[in-house]
């Protein structure tokens, strides 16, 4: 079964508002990364977390290995935040990254 369940699949925001993306894991993960995919397929790294929370500008991420989830919060959304966001997690001792199915974020004026 799917080991990384990402939700929602699509998210529409008005400028200035905020929301959260979430990934649930079916097993214990060692670390999680959040990426934004650019228009040409590259993955821009947003966060890498082995635990706790990190914040960068208007983005904040949290990872709870024990509770098996990670979140990415967007606040004060801007038009340039539009794009597809992926979480990806790795097992204990593993190098494989298991990707979520992505969340397409659309920010409108």
Partner 1 sequence: DMKVTQMPRYLIKRMGENVLLECGQDMSHETMYWYRQDPGLGLQLIYISYDVDSNSEGDIPKGYRVSRKKREHFSLILDSAKTNQTSVYFCASSPRGGETLYFGSGTRLTVL
Part of the chain binding partner 1 (CB under 8 A), chosen from 13-21, 24-32, 58-66, 94-102: 94-102
Burial of 102 (0-12, 13-18, 19+ CB in 10 A): middle
Pick the closer one to partner 1 by CB: 87 or 107: 87
**Smallest distance, Å, CB 17 to partner 1?**
26
Interaction between residue 93 and partner 1 (CB under 8 A): no
Burial of 48 (0-12, 13-18, 19+ CB in 10 A): middle
Part of the chain binding partner 1 (CB under 8 A), chosen from 7-15, 22-30, 41-49, 65-73: 41-49
**Smallest distance, Å, CB 108 to partner 1?**
26
Question: How many CA atoms within 13 Å lie on the side-chain side of 105?
Answer: 30
């Amino acid at each position: 079964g799917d080991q990384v369940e990402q939700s929602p699949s699509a998210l529409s925001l008005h400028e200035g508002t905020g929301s959260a993306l979430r990934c649930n894991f079916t097993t214990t993960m060692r670390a999680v990364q959040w990426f934004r995919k650019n228009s040409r397929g590259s993955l821009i790294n947003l966060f890498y977390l082995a635990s706790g929370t990190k914040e960068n500008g208007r983005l904040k991420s949290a990872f709870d290995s024990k509770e098996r989830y990670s979140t990415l919060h967007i606040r004060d959304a801007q038009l340039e935040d539009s794009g597809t966001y992926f979480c990806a997690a790795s097992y204990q001792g593993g190098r494989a990254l298991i990707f979520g199915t992505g969340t397409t974020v659309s920010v409108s004026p």
